[in-house]
Amino acid sequence: GENVEQHPSTLSVQEGDSAVIKCTYSDSASNYFPWYKQELGKGPQLIIDIRSNVGEKKDQRIAVTLNKTAKHFSLHITETQPEDSAVYFCAARARFLSGGSYIPTFGRGTSLIVHP
């Protein structure tokens, strides 16, 4: 099955700095890579996603890059703000061998702390 590794586990930055979170995956069949933000006491919220036919995607201060050859993808947050503080999860998704829907395998999460 798919295995997703996420680094670092904790990231502390000053407000205004950039933050980068990196993930690697094992299943070359994975073709969809969402990123989720989870605030304390809440469920994960999708913030950006990328499909395997695209190398980079940007949405305001957030960008994601994908290197299919190396099987790694990264989340980039620029001009960080205190409200960006949360746990961020990467995920990789491939269709189950038996068909059906795509089930994501999640990384273990990165706790991002943005200091004012």
Partner 1 sequence: DAGVTQSPTHLIKTRGQQVTLRCSPKSGHDTVSWYQQALGQGPQFIFQYYEEEERQRGNFPDRFSGHQFPNYSSELNVNALLLGDSALYLCASSFWPQGAPDTQYFGPGTRLTVL
Contact positions toward partner 1, by CB under 8 A? 4, 6, 31-32, 34, 36, 41-46, 49, 51, 89, 91, 93, 95-96, 98, 100-109
Give the whole-angstrom CA distance, residue 114 versus residue 101. Answer: 36
Of 10, 24, 4, 21, nearest to 68 by C-alpha is: 24
State the minimum distance, in angstroms, from the CB of residue 114 to partner 1: 20
Give 57 or 78: the residue with its C-beta nearer to partner 1: 57
Q: Cβ closer to partner 1: 19 or 91?
A: 91
Vertex 35 angle, CA 26 and 94, to 5° = 40
How far is the C-alpha of 14 from the C-alpha of 26, rounded, in Å?
33
Q: Closest separation between CB of residue 16 and partner 1, Å?
A: 28
CB nearer to partner 1: give 44 or 77.
44
